[in-house]
Amino acid sequence: MGLLKVGKPLHWNDSLEHCHYIRRHGVLQFIATYRRLQHLENDRLFYGDEIEYALLKVDPASKRVRLSLRGPEVMETLRKQEQDMNAFRGCAWHQEYGSWMLEGTPSLPYGGYTMSLVSVEQNMRLRRGRLLTILAEDEIAPTLVTFPMMGVGDFVHPAAPPGGEASQSEFVPDTCINPHPRFGTLTGNIRRRRGSKVDIRVPLFKDVNTKEFESDTDPSIQMDCMAFGMGCCCLQVTFQASDMEESRLLYDQLAVLAPIMMALTAATPVVKGRLAASDVRWNIISQSVDDRTPAERGEGDFKAEPLMAGEGRRRQSKSRYDSISCYIHPGSKAYNDIPCEVDEEMDSVLYQEGIDEMLTRHISHLFTRDPLVVFEGHVELDDDKSTDHFESIQSTNWQTVRWKPPPIPSTACSPHIGWRTEFRSMEVQLTDFENAAFTAFIVIVTRAILVFNLTLLAPLSLVDDNMKRAHGVDAVRRSKFWFRKHILPDDTDEMMQNICPSQGPKGESKSSQFEEMTMDEIMNGKSCYFPGLVPLCYAYLEHIGCDENSFKRLDQYLKLIKDRATGELMTPATWMRNFVHAHKDYKMDSVVSETIAYDLVHACSDIGLGRRPCPELLGDVIIEPILKDGHYETPLFGEKLGSEDRRGLLQKIMSRAAQCDGTFSAPSSAQMRRQYSGAVNAGGDPVSRQGSLGLREGSGGYVA
């Protein structure tokens, strides 16, 4: 959740005088990093995932569910328990915006081998299991994008009235905001810069008895604070590239996939106790952090404020949480066909320092935004030794993909970190199997792009159109998306032309290089000229000689994506929508009541823990149950027991053994199975040998 520092964050009015300094020196810090590390090369593939969890408190007696505001407490407990664990089989826990949320990642990044693709699910299961051990008996922590009753009545525990200095919300108390001072300041400063509370509107789903449609032709679900958006949970994946050029290339290619993968992972049909006429979270978050003034939004006038970026009057076509506005690889220039505002001063600084045109445009676009959190006494920094000002802007430009320069090592022993690309559009799924499947898929797609020299590039205007289409209800089955017809390199495409001459040459006009495709066609192929992304993944695994044991699980992952794209399997959003419609308390009025929400979150939790089969989502895949036991390694202590403890333990053994085969005999295997029935496999198959993911040798890496 961005740059977290210790210190006193400044009120917006007090931070204004520092905004220009921070923006200018943020650019200078980037230039220093670029100069120092632009020739870094031959880094190995390392990658990591991020999953966010929501803590919920359930009351079976009243059939109510509330947010449990214990996120920071639970996070600290989990961190303490990780300290003595094996880092290679561990988890890392991080703060998130909501005080009911926490983020889990692997403690170390996954390496570039097929074994790592299988270990992703094992680590995700480990995270879910370790979190389970910390929860109270009346708490659950499903991987849901949104809490369905967010902003409805008394929905938090401990109870608190709505509003507060930071958000001034009519629906949500400020106790929902993480107590770290950055988060409350971020909330308040977005509102103050904007000049009003954020205004979030999501179209309301029209059902038979939805009353709002009787008097309003276009009713919406209205929300008024950052928590509605930044309280959404997601799945993100970050890759370390071989070098800077590769990281830029992957940034552009993955930007095209962002709306496609968002639709394929759709999991947000319920918002603020209502069924929405959309299935994904993106627009909710985009509106929740929109700090643009009326003039910047093109909705009205605004008195110029010289201390603000663009004096607060420069037109900004997008929120700072949105799709990208420009590609950054030199070969992608022709596809930059949408407005991309830049800061002229920062643009000039970058140009004079010799930064290439595409990268200059990207950085100067990011720096049209003001810093939202400024820490007292942390303004004048050494630009050669700090990137804090760069990160203060970079980390609050929340786009579908993020290009991440290497950070400055904090110590001489800090692990090496190279140029990275972060894929940010996917919605979190109900099970670790699904989350691992989509993580592995994105990793394999990036390898296929590099090895087969694919190009997915499309004009950004079409990518933005796809973002709009991806929001639709059941977009996987009902919508089509713009996609490139010929993604193979020229020599391969010539061969395809001989097989499929009716499709025309690759050198056809720019507008005819793209067509509307179904999700099935994009993933599984179309006619004889478009191979499909899933078959290309299989081709890549064959190319690297993927070992049989790893392939068994990867095949299940790819089958999930194939079947979801065809519509044979549902998205989580469709499954949840059907659950609400089938509930006995649903009145066909688009209202998700307390009892419906209670049953829904319980069902989602049970599916994630392997307690409830869900063939509509998973097909024939069975999720092995996750229990509270067996998620921490047991050390083989050698310290001597005291006499009293020793005597008690021996008496216990003698008593138990007497029921078996005689004094001092070992317990039977049946007894041991009963005693340790909680120990389960972490998921996935064992791996006998590793297949490299098409890597070049080089220095180690770390994904942050």
Query: Residue 658 above 80 pLDDT?
Result: no
Q: Within a domain: residue 455?
A: yes
Task: Say how many domains are in the chain.
Answer: 1
Q: Within a domain: residue 189?
A: no
Q: What are phi and psi of 271, to 5 degrees?
A: -135, 125
Cβ-contact 11, 113 below 8 angstroms: no
Torsion of the alpha carbons at 124, 127, 132 and 134, rounded to the nearest 10: -170
SS3 of 617, please? helix
Q: Within a domain: residue 161?
A: yes
Q: What are phi and psi of 45, to 5 degrees?
A: -70, 125
pLDDT band at 695 (very low <50, low <70, confident <90, very high): very low
Predicted pLDDT of residue 564: 99
Query: Residue 619 above 70 pLDDT?
Result: yes
- Give kind and range of the element (H or E) at residue 56: strand 56-59
- CA-CA distance, 679 to 687, in Å (whole number)? 20
Q: Taking the CA atoms of the chain, what radius of gyration do you get in angstroms? A: 26
3-state secondary structure labels for all residues of 207-258 = CCCCHHHHCCCCCEEEECCCHHHHCCCEEEEEEECCCHHHHHHHHHHHHHHH
- CA-CA distance, 365 to 368, in Å (whole number)? 5
- CA-CA distance, 144 to 319, in Å (whole number)? 24
C-alpha distance from residue 689 to each of 83, 268, 692 (Å): 30, 39, 10
- List the beta strands (DSSP E) in 362-505: 398-399, 401-404, 420-423, 480-484
Chain-centroid distance of CA 125 in Å reads 17
Cβ-contact 200, 288 below 8 angstroms: yes
Nearest alpha carbon to residue 65 among 699, 595, 512: 595
- CA-CA distance, 470 to 481, in Å (whole number)? 8
Q: Which two tokens stand for residue 691?
A: 């297949």
Q: Within a domain: residue 42?
A: yes
Q: Which two tokens stand for residue 397?
A: 């430009």
Q: What are phi and psi of 65, to 5 degrees?
A: -130, 140
What does DSSP assign to residue 625? P
Q: What is the mean pLDDT of residues 549-571?
A: 98
Q: What is the mean pLDDT of residues 459-467?
A: 99
Boundaries of domain holding 130: 19-165+196-627+680-704
Cβ-contact 452, 540 below 8 angstroms: yes
Cβ-contact 131, 53 below 8 angstroms: yes
pLDDT band at 679 (very low <50, low <70, confident <90, very high): very low
Residue range 630-656, pLDDT digits in tens: 788 777 888 888 999 888 888 888 887
SS3 of 417, please? coil
Q: Range with the lowest mean pLDDT among 446-450, 480-484, 618-622, 633-637?
A: 633-637
Cβ-contact 633, 89 below 8 angstroms: yes
**Residue 159 burial class via C-beta count within 10 angstroms: exposed 0-12, middle 13-18, buried 19 and up:** exposed
Query: Residue 285 above 70 pLDDT?
Result: yes
- CA-CA distance, 550 to 517, in Å (whole number)? 31
Q: Within a domain: residue 645?
A: no
- Angle formed at CA 470 by CA 467 and CA 476, multiple of 5 degrees: 150
Q: Which two tokens stand for residue 113?
A: 């081998």
Residue 539 CB coordination number (10 Å): 13
- CA-CA distance, 75 to 68, in Å (whole number)? 13
- CA-CA distance, 450 to 224, in Å (whole number)? 43
What does DSSP assign to residue 568? S
What does DSSP assign to residue 111? E
Q: What is the mean pLDDT of residues 273-299?
A: 98
- Angle formed at CA 15 by CA 13 and CA 20, multiple of 5 degrees: 120
Residue range 35-94, pLDDT digits in tens: 999 999 999 999 999 999 999 999 999 999 999 999 999 999 999 999 877 666 799 999
Helix 533-544 and helix 548-566, axial crossing angle in degrees, nearest 10: 170
Predicted pLDDT of residue 700: 38
Chain-centroid distance of CA 237 in Å reads 7
End-to-end CA distance of the chain: 12
Residues 6+ apart with CB under 8 A from 636: none
pLDDT band at 247 (very low <50, low <70, confident <90, very high): very high
Q: What is the mean pLDDT of residues 516-522?
A: 99
Nearest alpha carbon to residue 147 among 220, 231, 212: 231
pLDDT band at 694 (very low <50, low <70, confident <90, very high): low
> Residue 612: what residue type?
R
Query: Residue 93 — left, alpha, or beta (φ > 0 → left; ψ -120 to 50 → alpha)?
Result: beta
Cβ-contact 286, 322 below 8 angstroms: yes
C-alpha distance from residue 552 to each of 548, 556, 685 (Å): 6, 7, 8
Q: Within a domain: residue 185?
A: no
Query: Residue 2 above 80 pLDDT?
Result: no
Predicted pLDDT of residue 6: 61
Residues 6+ apart with CB under 8 A from 299: none
Q: Within a domain: residue 4?
A: no
CATH number of the domain to which 55 belongs:
3.30.590.50
Predicted pLDDT of residue 616: 98
Query: Residue 588 — left, alpha, or beta (φ > 0 → left; ψ -120 to 50 → alpha)?
Result: left
- Give kind and range of the element (H or E) at residue 543: helix 533-544
- CA-CA distance, 601 to 340, in Å (whole number)? 41
pLDDT band at 5 (very low <50, low <70, confident <90, very high): low
- Give kind and range of the element (H or E) at residue 114: helix 114-134
- CA-CA distance, 360 to 328, in Å (whole number)? 9
- CA-CA distance, 265 to 235, in Å (whole number)? 9
Residue range 103-137, pLDDT digits in tens: 999 999 999 999 999 999 999 999 999 999 999 99
Q: What is the mean pLDDT of residues 149-177?
A: 98
Q: Within a domain: residue 442?
A: yes
Mean pLDDT taken over the chain: 92
Query: Residue 13 above 80 pLDDT?
Result: yes
Global pTM value: 0.91
